[in-house]
Amino acid sequence: MIRPEDPDHRAWALMDAARQLDFFRASLNPAGGFFQLGHDGSPLPDRPQELHATTRMVHSYALGKLAGFADCDEMIDAGMRYLASHHRDKTHGGYVWGMTGDTVSDGRKLAYGHVFVLLAGSSALAVGHPDARALIDDVTEVLENRFWEPDNGRFCDEFNRDWTPFSTYRGMNANMHGVEALLAAHEATGADRYLHMAGRILDFFLGEVAPQEGNRLPEHYRADWSIDRAYSEDPMFRPPGTTPGHSFEMARLLLQYWDMTGRGDDTAPARARALAYRALQDAWDEARGGLVYTLDFDGTPHITDRYWWPVTEAIGTLAALMKLDATKEDAVWFDRLWRFAQAHFVDTARGGWFPEIDEPGLPTERQFIGKPDIYHALQADLLPLTSGLSGYYTTLKELRV
């Protein structure tokens, strides 16, 4: 059985992390930033460079460097340069979402992108990058002054390039990744304001919403933060209903926050477990294996496509639960998820993970072109191997490959 502490699994996970880091080095664009890569690792030069892709590359290679993998600095440096030279809006402030060459192809200012800038800056600071502190300070000011709603304790979502509003949409996804970035920023800088903001977001989604929704998390909200059950837009970033993969992420982040704040809330572990297991029970596809992408509000599968990232996040959450108080069911699920990932998503020949599979379980390209991301899969390899629920910038150094 595959378990986090098993020496064979640890060796395999570190080998897969190395394969991923090697594979995505081909994304380095000599003109600045990064290419998206095809399944075979060839650059896709016509694809726009989006803010979350730039920032996740910085974060991922910083994690790799902390774990002792070689040759990560060039990727970190390239991402940091590109954030400053291209994504940073020198006219209006903040960071634009999309670049094509030297042209702004999507000038929207999205909270989702800005919290990833904070994550990138925090991870860059953890590895001693000289520009990291300035990046953290800059994006913190933008997040606090443009996106943070102090009365609600959450981030609003989106503006035009010049900060004029174009919608009243509010969403969980930007706030969930906001928690991730805020906890990282607290760890990297020691500033308590980040921890306070993360706690307020968690209090709303996991203290108020989840208990009222049967431990499911609706994605979309109106300006007054009432649930918008009719909302349906982008099938990838803003699908209707609930997204079980996000429940796994929120459960892990709750445990991380609980650990960082001294484990004072006795209810947090049980709440995290209930959230994670509700998602597993709703989303696991008994006939085909894997996790369906979205659910209706009652837990009925809605978008039944199977992507890599919910599996990676479930792996990370099961590992966190096992570090705290492992059960036989945790071990069964951890083993089941990893075996499915290794059979269907992990590209052992070339590196990286295939992002989606078809009905028979083979790689396909319906929603995703190529291999767009290292972030989710690298964390699934590395974070379960660390010794704690938080403090990843420190505990990753224990791996030192």
pLDDT digit string, tens, across residues 190-246 = 999 999 999 999 999 999 999 999 999 999 999 999 999 999 888 778 999 999 999
Burial class (CB in 10 A: 0-12, 13-18, 19+), 288: middle
Which pLDDT score, from 0 to 100, does residue 44 have?
95
Q: Is 181 left (phi over 0), alpha (psi -120 to 50) or beta?
A: alpha
Cα–Cα distances in angstroms (integers) from residue 29 to residues 4, 36, 45, 50, in the given order:
35, 9, 9, 14
Which pLDDT score, from 0 to 100, does residue 233 have?
86
CA distance 30 to 28: 6
DSSP state, residue 34: B
Q: Identify which of 14, 38, 25 has the alpha carbon closest to the alpha carbon of residue 399.
A: 14
This prediction has a pTM of: 0.98
Residue of 9, 186, 344, 376 with catalytic role: 376
Rg, Å, the chain Cα set: 19
Burial class (CB in 10 A: 0-12, 13-18, 19+), 48: middle
Give every CB contact of residue 230 below 8 A, 6+ residues apart in sequence. Answer: 240
Residue of 177, 246, 302, 344 with catalytic role: 246
CA distance 62 to 33: 16
Q: Identify which of 380, 383, 377 has the alpha carbon closest to the alpha carbon of residue 23.
A: 377
Provide CATH code, domain 7-398.
1.50.10.10
Q: Any catalytic annotation for residue 92?
A: no
Which pLDDT score, from 0 to 100, does residue 401 have?
67
Kindly give the parts of the chain with pLDDT less than 70.
401
Instruction: Give me the residue spans of the domains in the chain.
Output: 7-398
DSSP state, residue 215: S
Token pair belonging to 56: 């996740």
Which pLDDT score, from 0 to 100, does residue 84 have?
98
Which pLDDT score, from 0 to 100, does residue 235 have?
78
Angle, in degrees to the nearest 10, between helices 51-66 and 111-126: 20
The tokens 């699994």 sit on which residue? Answer: 9
Q: Any catalytic annotation for residue 220?
A: no
Which pLDDT score, from 0 to 100, does residue 80 have?
98
Instruction: Give phi and psi for 371, each to the nearest 5.
Output: -115, 95
